[in-house]
Structure 1
Amino acid sequence: MSKPFLVLQLRPETEASDDEFAAILAKGGLTENQVRRVRLDQENLPDDVTLDQVAGVIVGGGPGCVSDKPEDKSEVEARIEAQVMSLMPHITERDFPFLGCCYGIGILGQHLGGDVSKRAFGEPVGTSACEVTSEGKDDALLDGVPTAFDAFVGHKEALQSLPEGCTHLVRSESCPFQMVRHGENVYATQFHPEADAAGFETRISIYKTRGYFAPEAAEDIIAMCRAADVFAPEMVLRNFVRRYG
């Protein structure tokens, strides 16, 4: 691997951020020496990092929603969103390798002028039964992924329609747009390709008062995640690293 991947993290909680970073490394088959990690809750995009210096960009999830009104976003959430959005014109203009996870699909949709809102298709914390579309079956990032698979999800907002210039790769009954591609190299998933049951248990404990579910339901949701058979989504992350690294 001649260039590192740029990993942008949006979670202001250190435990959640560290756990997510470890998961991205593990599921992507990466070492710390093969990535440049930037926690956007703590720093802006470094001036010394350009797209020419990295193999691709991976954006993690976060508790923010791009569709929230500006006055409803914390100062940190607003700054994180602005930093990621500032990179998107360069990503899409160059068709540069990009993988946005959960929050990342909202970022991509918002940048493309798509309809991102809480009107429909939000999913409770847990698993979603996903299906690869006919166009998705030929996509390199879905190589080896079963036509039907379960994935960990948990989000309040979602794409309401497919943005212009995007290809629909994965769907589910509860949320039609689980994975899309813009151009040939810009990807986003609504599900979490890095997540496993242990990681979701950590997030459930941290975000149990953020409105994703009733706090008293946390233990039942953790038990459900532990019992789930989720193995395919990480292939998307691994295929992204293999293709662009």
Structure 2
Amino acid sequence: MTLQTESATPPVAPNLRDVNRQMLIILDFGSQYSELIARRIRETQVYSEVLSYRTTAEQLRQLNPKGIILSGGPSSVYDAGAPHCDPEIWDLGIPVLGVCYGMQLMVQQLGGQVERAERGEYGKASLHIDDPTDLLTNVEDGSTMWMSHGDSVAAMPAGFETLAHTDNTPCAAIADHGRKLYGVQFHPEVVHSQDGIALIRNFVYHICDCEPTWTTEAFVEEAIREVKAKVGEKRVLLALSGGVDSSTLAFLLHRAIGDQLTCMFIDQGFMRKYEPERLVQLFRDEFAIPVHYVNARDRFIERIAGVTDPEEKRKRIGHEFIRVFEEESRRLGPFDYLAQGTLYPDVIESADTNVDPKTGERVAVKIKSHHNVGGLPKDLQFKLVEPLRKLFKDEVRKVGRSIGLPEEIVRRHPFPGPGLAIRIIGEVTAERLNILRDADFVVRDEIQKQGMYHDFWQAFAVLLPIRSVGVMGDQRTYAHPVVLRLIASEDGMTADWSRVPYDLLETISNRMVNEVKGVNRVVYDITSKPPGTIEWE
């Protein structure tokens, strides 16, 4: 089981740290892979957190981690204003692993030299091992590692030696064994690195001397204790959406506080076809968890009428979402707490993190806000309960299974909080919603019929705000194109388009133009994440 970290700046709740004495800290220098490093550590069943590179040595000493990892980043260590860590970190006596930029920073701060490389190195490279012990135990000589750097180590600090090199990088892995300081120029955390997980295990288990104690059961037990301690005898209102996140949260909270929990499902009109009815039936009849249903479709559509900017859509939907909860809670309440199925990717993608107060330089930038993170109004009337905000999607599924959530929900494709509203590019209208809802149903229905639903991380349709000419039955048509998006991913942080059989694409296209009024063209999105995102908005 892997469990993910809090956002890049604030630490996690102290009681989690008390229970899980063994942990590793990742200092984030703005890498797109920082949270992936944490996830890989969690796969070894050791607890980890991502914190800002500004975290001081004294703060780290108080946290008492078993090891520290410095992430990669987009800067060069010799640039003016480049992010640097507290140099006293090197004297803490705690093992440190620098990854890419993190390795270069280690070299520079300890007296070595980093320079612009004659040739950059990007993509796959063969790793030639000079010292097969310690960090590189069980890493095969000649194994493929993923490179992404334009700088290289020109001179190593005193006490360091080379562990491995590539054809283009003389110092691909380095170590000061006596001080337990290690650096790798490549990215062992990405799936393209052949023996990357072996290297991470070596650092976690052998160098940091950790034990695999961070498990699903440990998380569930501590989350229940944390909820009970925080809520006491107060009542909790849960924003239920029917997805695996909020459903897992509903099961978890019901186990923790029983009848103190009230689930409310707000039908904002942006759900997929037949989902609202199925959700209410499941929870009321099969799970015996009461659900208060609110039909607010007209209200939400009116709230975003005329809005075309995706960020504004999300914020308005988020604000309206909370307002409806406040109004309905006054009728049902009083409630002191609002529970949300916020996940770590929601937090990290919604946050403007690591902004240097002196230079204003942003190391990590906001990609998009999520309605349950960036859209919360300042005058929110609830206190928040978010036990899942440290987890990735796959981790939530494991927790859901462990507490009895049925596979129908556990393996449900991720669905954004604002729903179909952000899969309609441009203005959202009732007519466009009906078109997209029917088109989306065709996609889901067909992949289920062909037994391919679980072959994809997500499979959905996007409606474009343009029309194109077509011919149907010897008649000219002027209708919308629909974008088909079929995604392969492990955690949603990175993703690739699925190489699906042409027969499937043909069947979906034929059904869509024949069954969905207002559609006469289907196109397939073959963009990965990065550089794109999974959702179009």
Same-fold call, TM cutoff 0.5:
yes
Q: Of 12, 20, 26, which residue of structure 1 is paired with 2:34?
A: 20
Shift, 1:169, TM fit = 0.2
- Does 1:144 find its partner at 2:138? yes
- Map Cα deviations across residues 60-117 of structure 1 (whole Å, 9 max, x no partner): 111011022x1xx4xxxx3xx23x1x1x4442x3553011100111111101211201
Shift, 1:52, TM fit = 6.6
- Map Cα deviations across residues 153-185 of structure 1 (whole Å, 9 max, x no partner): 011111013332101101111011000002431
Q: Distance in 1 between matches of 2:98 and 2:62?
A: 15
User: CA, structure 1 residues 51+156, in 2 after alignment: closer, same or farther (shift >3 Å)?
Assistant: farther
Q: Distance in 2 between matches of 1:102 and 1:194?
A: 11
Q: Distance in 2 between matches of 1:23 and 1:104?
A: 13
Structure 2 counterpart of 1:118: 116
Q: Distance in 2 between matches of 1:95 and 1:132?
A: 26
Q: Distance in 1 between matches of 2:47 and 2:202?
A: 15
- Does 1:169 find its partner at 2:163? yes
Structure 1 counterpart of 2:73: 62
- Does 1:45 find its partner at 2:42? no
User: CA, structure 1 residues 49+96, in 2 after alignment: closer, same or farther (shift >3 Å)?
Assistant: closer
> Structure 2 matches for 1:51-200, cutoff 5 A?
53-68=64-79, 70=80, 73=81, 78=82, 81-82=83-84, 84=85, 86=86, 88-91=87-90, 93-120=91-118, 122-123=120-121, 125-133=122-130, 136-137=131-132, 139-184=133-178, 185-197=180-192
User: CA, structure 1 residues 11+141, in 2 after alignment: closer, same or farther (shift >3 Å)?
Assistant: same
The two structures, once aligned, show a CA RMSD in angstroms of 2.4
Mapped contact 1:121–1:160 kept (Cα < 8 A)? no
Shift, 1:10, TM fit = 1.3
- Does 1:36 find its partner at 2:56? no
What is the aligned residue count? 187
Report the 3-state secondary structure (helix = DSSP H, G, I; strand = E; otherwise coil) of the residue aligned with 2:50: strand
Mapped contact 2:139–2:198 kept (Cα < 8 A)? yes
Structure 2 counterpart of 1:9: 28
Q: Distance in 2 between matches of 1:7 and 1:143?
A: 22
Report the 3-state secondary structure (helix = DSSP H, G, I; strand = E; otherwise coil) of the residue aligned with 1:157: strand
- TM-score, normalising length from structure 2? 0.33
Shift, 1:142, TM fit = 1.1
- TM-score, normalising length from structure 1? 0.68
Q: Distance in 2 between matches of 1:51 and 1:103?
A: 25
Paired letter, 1:45: T
Mapped contact 1:122–1:156 kept (Cα < 8 A)? yes
Q: Distance in 2 between matches of 1:192 and 1:236?
A: 10
Report the 3-state secondary structure (helix = DSSP H, G, I; strand = E; otherwise coil) of the residue aligned with 1:156: strand
Q: Distance in 1 between matches of 2:152 and 2:129?
A: 18
Q: Distance in 2 between matches of 1:131 and 1:51?
A: 38
Q: Distance in 1 between matches of 2:140 and 2:177?
A: 23
- Map Cα deviations across residues 184-228 of structure 1 (whole Å, 9 max, x no partner): 31100001111124xxxxxxxxxxxxxxxxxxxxxxxxxxxxxxx
User: CA, structure 1 residues 181+28, in 2 after alignment: closer, same or farther (shift >3 Å)?
Assistant: farther
Paired letter, 2:169: C
Q: Distance in 1 between matches of 2:97 and 2:23?
A: 14
Mapped contact 1:58–1:100 kept (Cα < 8 A)? yes
Report the 3-state secondary structure (helix = DSSP H, G, I; strand = E; otherwise coil) of the residue aligned with 1:49: helix
Paired letter, 1:130: L
Mapped contact 2:40–2:197 kept (Cα < 8 A)? no
User: CA, structure 1 residues 94+39, in 2 after alignment: closer, same or farther (shift >3 Å)?
Assistant: closer
Paired letter, 1:39: S
Q: Distance in 1 between matches of 2:28 and 2:70?
A: 6
Moved over 4 A (4+): none
Stretches of structure 1 that go unaligned for 5 or more consecutive residues are 198-229
Mapped contact 2:26–2:34 kept (Cα < 8 A)? no
Q: Of 179, 196, 199, which residue of structure 2 is paired with 1:233?
A: 196
Report the 3-state secondary structure (helix = DSSP H, G, I; strand = E; otherwise coil) of the residue aligned with 1:193: coil
Report the 3-state secondary structure (helix = DSSP H, G, I; strand = E; otherwise coil) of the residue aligned with 2:118: coil
Mapped contact 1:28–1:237 kept (Cα < 8 A)? no
Q: Distance in 2 between matches of 1:30 and 1:49?
A: 22
User: CA, structure 1 residues 64+102, in 2 after alignment: closer, same or farther (shift >3 Å)?
Assistant: same
User: CA, structure 1 residues 166+121, in 2 after alignment: closer, same or farther (shift >3 Å)?
Assistant: farther
Paired letter, 2:173: M
User: CA, structure 1 residues 49+108, in 2 after alignment: closer, same or farther (shift >3 Å)?
Assistant: closer
Percent of residue pairs identical: 22
Q: Distance in 2 between matches of 1:2 and 1:60?
A: 22
Mapped contact 1:67–1:118 kept (Cα < 8 A)? no
Structure 1 counterpart of 2:371: none
Structure with greater contact order relative to length (CA < 8 Å, sep ≥ 6): 1
Report the 3-state secondary structure (helix = DSSP H, G, I; strand = E; otherwise coil) of the residue aligned with 1:128: strand
Q: Distance in 2 between matches of 1:55 and 1:113?
A: 25
Q: Distance in 1 between matches of 2:76 and 2:139?
A: 28
Q: Distance in 2 between matches of 1:143 and 1:62?
A: 26
Stretches of structure 2 that go unaligned for 5 or more consecutive residues are 1-19, 211-537
Mapped contact 2:120–2:150 kept (Cα < 8 A)? yes
User: CA, structure 1 residues 101+236, in 2 after alignment: closer, same or farther (shift >3 Å)?
Assistant: same
